[in-house]
Amino acid sequence: MKYYCIDCKKEIKNRYAIRCQSCAKSICRFVPKNLFYKLYCTEKLSIPKIAKILNFSKTAIRNSLIRYKIKIKTISQSKKGNLHNRWNPNKSKDSSGYVRIRNPKTNERVLEHRFIMEQKLGRKLKSSEVVHHINGIRYDNSPKNLCVLLKIKHKPYTLIYILQKKIRQLERKLNEKYIKD
């Protein structure tokens, strides 16, 4: 297949050249608008992925999108929801930092740590039971990091409570030291 420059109409010998040797225009101009539109808007591929497919630089692809008046998405627009590379429709993090998943049996959204403990115990958790994250990281739901406690006994195990207790002990030691001096 032969390639011709749109501007100077001369044949381009090197298919992989970035610019036309005669008029120094970007070779990306030879790629039709409908192909860019299909790859970028319909298939929702990123500029780096299109550059890899078409064997052009990212800058050449970006400039071609601008030339063809195809609106370029910002990083925040292209990384939201199902466009994000780690998007999972059945798993999300809520505002308090806990992971919610879709229960495969009931299809309702449940807290992942409670679901994991129910599977491990083989029964539903009681309303008086709390699943405690041993390391204090709410999204770390590995079974070795989870334990079941009664609501009454949960507070002494929370990281904040432990830290507050340690601060009080250190304050007492400081007070004792300065009172003796």
3-state SS, the chain, equals: CCEECCCCCCEECCCCCCECCCCCCEHHHHCCHHHHHHHHHHCCCCHHHHHHHHCCCHHHHHHHHHHCCCCCCCHHHHCCHHHCCCCCCCEEECCCCCEEEECCCCCCEEEHHHHHHHHHHCCCCCCCEEEEECCCCCCCCCHHHEEEEEHHHHHHHCHHHHHHHHHHHHHHHHHHHHHHC
What is residue 118's predicted lDDT score, i.e. its pLDDT? 94
- Mean of all residue pLDDT scores within the chain: 80
Global pTM reads: 0.47
| Interval 156-176 mean pLDDT | 82
- Greater confidence (157 vs 102) lies with 102
Q: Which segment of 52-61, 94-103, 113-122, 140-149 scores lowest on mean pLDDT? A: 52-61
Q: Which segment of 47-61, 97-111, 130-144 scores lowest on mean pLDDT? A: 47-61
